[in-house]
Structure 1
């Protein structure tokens, strides 16, 4: 069986002539098609014909398998079907999965997003958010959860134009629906927390149920991400009806805030504070288990 990697054919005639394994993460489709001998006969007397297995991966990456056996020669089709099915775990392993944005925020989730993070990219349709994102050259920030009060201390270092802007604010946590709320200019900004399998990245989605306003921002524990991590972001865009052309990217080389960050670190050290002290200062007695 010949294997090629290429896009999903839109021409059914081309598909009918194919004998391939094709992967197309953008179209969310995996398929396999194999032909037996078109001129020979099965031992049962039926003409040998095509054996078709189509594996469709839906938007949430739940699999639907379609096995069509026309004028079936079992002795030929069954081994191929078994061989194809044995490939499914490999397809799962290499495919990014759409990240759920309706998962409650647990203590473990808050611990996961604590510490230093870098803004990597974003795609927004809400005009005000899109305009702000277009001005940001790069940004990094520190998240410090307060488990007892359900808040997060956010310290942001943002490079806009030729200036470094520092902001400190408190986010309110609504655990049950996985929402973080930031109060800015007397308005509330709601974002749903999205935690992929890779613990080195996470995302925030705004207006997830409004296709005219939806926006997703992407963060990582390093200023540069791997192709796999970037593909996870792209997949989550696709899952929500967005595409790469809407993405705005950060450029860490344009960062102007490292000097100010170093100054703040020296000030905290002079006071005897550390990042870990700040994260855990409110957690006395909150030990073990997921909340």
Structure 2
């Protein structure tokens, strides 16, 4: 009887110690204001994916910046990317982002490769993307600068935990691996793809 009473009294404390339940990630409505808000320069901060092609890419990217500018069509953005892939700086300006407002989806198109994502925006200076490859989870964080607040990083890590990622499955970039600004002389060769 005493054990049952102790169990009943201790149950609320044990339940209070449980981590909060994971809320589903809700995509932002892609309207003209949202799209205007994502135009400009971004710095890739971190990402995680269980999709093998994306996982391979995440392991190879050491640093990346990208920018969005209006495309030729209303639901299209031009993308310029500068990234260090392993030891090589690569600049691309031939990819596009297609915007599907009816289901709040962004599709990155480069040559014959397509990948889709939902924008999960928590702050105007953050770009949180939930990548969609069937039922395989993926999440990436980009920001206007590489200096992201501790609170935003903790929020990103909490989302990753809810999606089933461990800390070892998250890949962060480093500012020490930044590519030189185009036209800057460094002795390092730029590769255009």
TM-score interval (norm. to shorter): 0.7 to 0.9
Question: What RMSD over aligned residues (CA atoms) do the two structures have, in Å?
Answer: 2.8
Deviation at 1:215, TM superposition (A): 0.8
- Report which structure shows greater RCO (CA 8 Å, sep ≥6): 2
Deviation sequence 1:137-160 (CA, Å, 0-9, x none): 010111113495211111101011
Match of 2:22 among 59, 66, 72: 59
Match of 2:107 among 163, 181, 186: 181
Normalised by the length of structure 1, the TM-score is 0.55
Aligned residues: 178
> Matched residues in 1 for 2:8 and 2:143: separation?
42
Unaligned runs of 5+ in 2: 1-5, 186-193
Contact 1:110 1:145 in 2 (8 A): no
Runs of 4+ displaced beyond 4 Å: 12-15
Q: Does 1:167 align with 2:92?
A: yes
Deviation at 1:23, TM superposition (A): 6.8
Unaligned runs of 5+ in 1: 1-11, 29-57, 61-97, 264-291
Distance 1:17 1:107, change over 3 A: closer
Give the match's secondary structure for 2:181. Answer: helix
Distance 1:222 1:124, change over 3 A: same
Q: Larger strand proportion, structure 1 or 2?
A: 2
Match of 2:61 among 131, 136, 156: 136
Instruction: Show the 5 A alignment for 1:54-133.
Output: 58-60=21-23, 99-101=25-27, 103-133=28-58
Q: Which has the larger radius of gyration?
A: 1
Q: Does 1:248 align with 2:174?
A: no
